[in-house]
Amino acid sequence: MSDFFTLKFEYKGHPHILDVQTAHQQFKTVYKVAIEEHEITFEPDEEGYVRAVSSKPMHDHLNPVDVGLLHHVAELIIQHIQQ
């Protein structure tokens, strides 16, 4: 089963609208997002936060994702699920 929600925010002066797919797996829920042409899965970690996992090695892409943007999206996902 999966659900969707949308994150709308501004980061470093640029507006972003990201559709987040919530995928319920056997032992955890993950959040899949396309960020700057990268497929990123945010999954829960042992400390109660979420970590970003790329579907492909980040060094294989010409345009790497801003790590700060990944942190910001992770914070927004945490805020959304704690509502």
Q: For residue range 26-77, list pLDDT tens digits in order.
A: 888 999 999 988 899 999 888 878 899 988 776 666 677 888 999 999 999 9
Q: Which tokens hold the place of 65? A: 């994702």
pLDDT at 81: 86
pTM: 0.86
Is the separation of the CB atoms in 20 and 30 below 8 Å? no
Query: What is the C-alpha separation between 37 and 58, in angstroms, rounded?
Result: 11
pLDDT at 60: 64
Domain count along the chain:
1
Q: Is 74 helix (H, G, I), strand (E, B) or coil?
A: helix
Q: What is the residue range of 25's domain?
A: 2-81
